[in-house]
């Protein structure tokens, strides 16, 4: 069942990487609840052209063609009145792909964080190699490094540190932002997200070093940088970036736990952490931005279908399955013939999803299930929206669940730190947005525990002891 029972073999709405295990990210068409599975990306296309003797000129040609599709000139000529009305709404709301591109910082400017974070690395392969080296040392839970792993990780971080200084300076610029390749659609190369995660690992490791040295408050500045990074990722119209921010926020919470429970922590330490947690809640981006960007990428995909390039959107496995059944061209023709109805169903679904972003995930889950159960019931219908169902919306429920889980972790620790420093909360979070379970703040003397996180996050359950000044 699409949506209600997300597939486990990789889905199409972004990248969700287990924070303890990492992974590479050069395609948005890959998320699972905790493992990264690389599928099709512009990087793959460029490698393919190189293998047949093409070069930089061909790379520019491919990128130019993808940018041309972002103008949606074929989509704009649709004869479907209902689709025209939906497109007009999106254009009026400034959600057209090229409208999103225009709101981003100029390429390679001092405010272009994508260029800044990518600059130190020669390739996506280098980023992947460093991540894999850190994965071998990274704890499965929290940030409790073994002595041997700690020393090896320090050496890797020491080598990376000089390359992160320039990026961190850009990150602290008020107007800096990540430049998303919205004009490249679902085949955008998102290796820059993995570069950002690598910088995050450097900073969280530097923060945890301060805790190991008995100076836990020295770890607060690195956590502040992580909050800035997560917030800037969440300001980007990219689901891949928003899901990376979820992983980074898990490190933030793990870092807060390590600092708050350190033997050297004081009441002042807890007060500083509470201010940090408060800032984190204030600066967090809106989930709407992720889905607006994802919708733009979907519109780009429909433009490619109209241009006769549907098969270019498939993974090798998807293409091979059609080839085995001798259905490759027949399926492509059916998809192209139904493109108006297909896109209209997709855009109506995305419009309602974006409108429901202000409600917590556990409340909209019923709507999601009903929407996709209704879709499954008409799978054999002549005008079934296969691009939406089989390409663009697989895993949409999982993606929303991950975003909600990230907020739940942050909220639980905000409540715990507020109790630790005796701050009364008149507008604090009361319910886990993923599960609908009410948070329970238990106070027994100076011991504080907050219940309500999902079982998978039991290692992050806030348990604090009030400290003296």
Categorize the per-residue pLDDT at 64 as very low, low, confident or very high, splitting at 50, 70 and 90: confident
Structure tokens at 433: 């947005």
The residue that leads in pLDDT, 14 or 91, is 91
More confident residue, 396 or 28: 396
- Residue 171, pLDDT > 70, answer yes
- Could you tell me if 202 and 134 are in contact, meaning their C-beta atoms sit under 8 angstroms apart? no
Residues 66-87 pLDDT 10s: 889 999 999 999 999 999 999 9
Q: Kindly state the average pLDDT of the residues 302-314.
A: 88
Q: Per-residue pLDDT averaged across 306-332, rounded?
A: 79
- Residue 33: predicted pLDDT: 26
Cα first-last separation, the chain = 55
Mean pLDDT in the chain?
Answer: 85
| pLDDT at 147 > cutoff 60 | yes
Q: What is the largest CA-CA distance in the chain?
A: 74
Which of 442, 453, 405 minimizes the C-alpha distance to 420?
442
Average pLDDT value for residue range 420-443? 92
User: Predicted confidence band at 44 (pLDDT cuts at 50, 70, 90)?
Assistant: very low
Q: What is the pLDDT of residue 366?
A: 93
Q: What is the mean pLDDT of the segment spanning 163-172?
A: 91
Question: pLDDT at residue 51 above 60?
Answer: no
Q: Give pLDDT, residue 28.
A: 35
Mean pLDDT for the stretch of residues 34-62: 45
Q: Which residue has the tokens 């989509």?
A: 75
Highest mean pLDDT among 114-128, 308-322, 382-396: 114-128
344-403 residue pLDDT tens: 999 999 999 999 998 999 999 999 999 988 887 787 777 889 899 888 998 899 999 999
The pair phi, psi for residue 379, each rounded to 5°, is -60, -30
How many percent of the chain have pLDDT more than 90?
Answer: 63
CA distance 255 to 370: 39
Q: Which residues span the domain enclosing 220?
A: 1-469
Give the sign of the dihedral formed by CA 52, CA 57, CA 60, CA 66.
Answer: negative
**Which of 195, 192, 241, 248 has the alpha carbon at shortest distance from 223?**
248
pLDDT confidence of residue 313: 83
Highest mean predicted confidence (pLDDT) among 22-36, 42-56, 166-180: 166-180
Pairing of strands 447-451, 440-444: antiparallel
b vs e for 276-306, b when ≥16 Cβ sit within 10 Å of the residue's Cβ? bbeebeeebbebebbbbbbbbbbbbbbbbbb
Q: Per the structure, how many domains does the chain have?
A: 1
Pick the residue with more confidence: 333 or 441?
441
DSSP-derived secondary structure for 276-325: HHHHHHHHPPPHHHHHHHHHHHHHHHHHHHHTT-GGGGS-HHHHHHHHHT
Res. 5 pLDDT band, cuts 50 70 90: very low
User: Cβ–Cβ contacts within 10 Å for residue 410, how many?
Assistant: 23
Asked whether the beta carbons of 33 and 405 are under 8 A apart, the reply is no
Residue-wise pLDDT tens digits, 210-221: 999 999 999 999
* pTM of model > 0.75: yes
Mean pLDDT for 172-195 is 93
Task: Tell me the average pLDDT across 113-130.
Answer: 92
Cα 191 to Cα 409: distance, rounded to the nearest angstrom: 26
Element (H, E) at 273: helix 267-283
Residue 55 pLDDT: 54
Could you write out the DSSP letters of every residue in 97-157? Answer: HHHHHHTSPPTTSTTBHHHHHHTT-S-HHHHHHHHHHHHTTS-SSTT---HHHHHHHHHHH
Q: What share of the chain is helix, strand, coil (3-state, %, to 5)?
A: 60, 5, 35
pLDDT number for residue 378: 80
Bridging pattern class, strands 447-451 and 463-465: antiparallel
The answer to whether the beta carbons of residues 45 and 187 sit under 8 Å apart is: yes
CB 421 within 8 A of CB 270: yes
Q: Look at residue 462 and give its three-state secondary structure.
A: coil
CA distance 95 to 89: 9
Model pLDDT, residue 311: 83
Mean pLDDT computed over 143-163 = 89
Q: Is the pLDDT reported for residue 154 higher than 60?
A: yes
Q: Name the helix (H) or strand (E) containing 194.
A: helix 191-212
Confidence of residue 47 (pLDDT cuts 50, 70, 90): very low
């Amino acid at each position: 069942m699409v949506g209600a029972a997300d597939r486990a073999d990789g889905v199409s709405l972004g990248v969700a990487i287990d924070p303890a295990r990492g992974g590479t990210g050069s395609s948005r068409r890959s998320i699972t609840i905790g493992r990264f599975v690389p599928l099709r990306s512009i990087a793959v296309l460029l490698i393919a052209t190189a293998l047949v003797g093409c070069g930089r000129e061909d790379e520019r040609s491919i990128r130019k063609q993808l940018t041309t599709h972002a103008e949606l000139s074929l989509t704009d000529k649709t004869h479907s009145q209902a689709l025209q009305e939906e497109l007009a709404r999106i254009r009026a709301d400034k959600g057209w792909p090229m409208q999103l591109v225009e709101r981003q910082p100029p390429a390679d400017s001092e405010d272009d964080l994508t260029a800044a974070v990518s600059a130190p690395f020669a390739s996506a392969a280098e980023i992947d190699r460093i991540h894999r080296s850190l994965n071998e040392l990274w704890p499965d839970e929290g940030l409790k490094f073994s002595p041997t792993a700690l020393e090896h990780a320090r050496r890797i971080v020491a080598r990376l540190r000089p390359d992160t200084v320039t990026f961190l300076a850009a990150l602290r610029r008020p107007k800096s932002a990540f430049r998303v390749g919205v004009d490249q659609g679902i085949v955008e190369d998102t290796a820059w997200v993995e570069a950002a995660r690598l910088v995050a690992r450097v900073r969280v490791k530097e923060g945890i070093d301060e805790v190991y040295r008995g100076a836990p408050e020295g770890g607060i500045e690195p956590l502040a940088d992580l909050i800035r990074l997560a917030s800037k990722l969440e300001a980007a119209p990219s689901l891949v970036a928003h899901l990376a921010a979820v992983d980074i926020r898990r490190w933030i919470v793990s870092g807060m736990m390590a600092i708050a429970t350190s033997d050297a922590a004081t009441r002042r330490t807890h007060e500083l952490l509470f201010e940090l947690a408060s800032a984190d809640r204030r600066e967090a981006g809106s989930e709407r931005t992720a889905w607006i960007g994802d919708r733009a990428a979907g519109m780009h995909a429909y433009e490619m279908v109209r241009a006769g390039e549907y098969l270019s959107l498939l993974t090798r496995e998807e293409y091979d399955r059609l080839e085995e059944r001798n259905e490759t061209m027949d399926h492509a023709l059916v998809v192209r013939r139904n493109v108006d109805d297909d896109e209209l169903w997709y855009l109506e679904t995305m419009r309602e999803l974006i409108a429901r972003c202000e409600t917590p995930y556990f409340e909209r889950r019923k709507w999601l299930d009903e929407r996709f159960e209704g879709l499954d019931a008409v799978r054999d219908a002549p005008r079934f929206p296969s691009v939406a169902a089989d390409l663009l919306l697989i895993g949409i429920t999982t993606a929303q669940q991950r975003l909600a889980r990230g907020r739940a972790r942050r909220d639980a620790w905000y409540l715990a730190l507020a109790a630790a420093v005796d701050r009364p909360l008149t507008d604090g979070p009361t319910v886990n947005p993923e599960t609908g379970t009410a948070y329970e703040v238990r106070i027994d003397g100076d011991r504080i525990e907050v219940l309500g996180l999902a079982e998978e996050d039991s290692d992050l359950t806030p348990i604090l002891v009030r400290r003296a000044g």
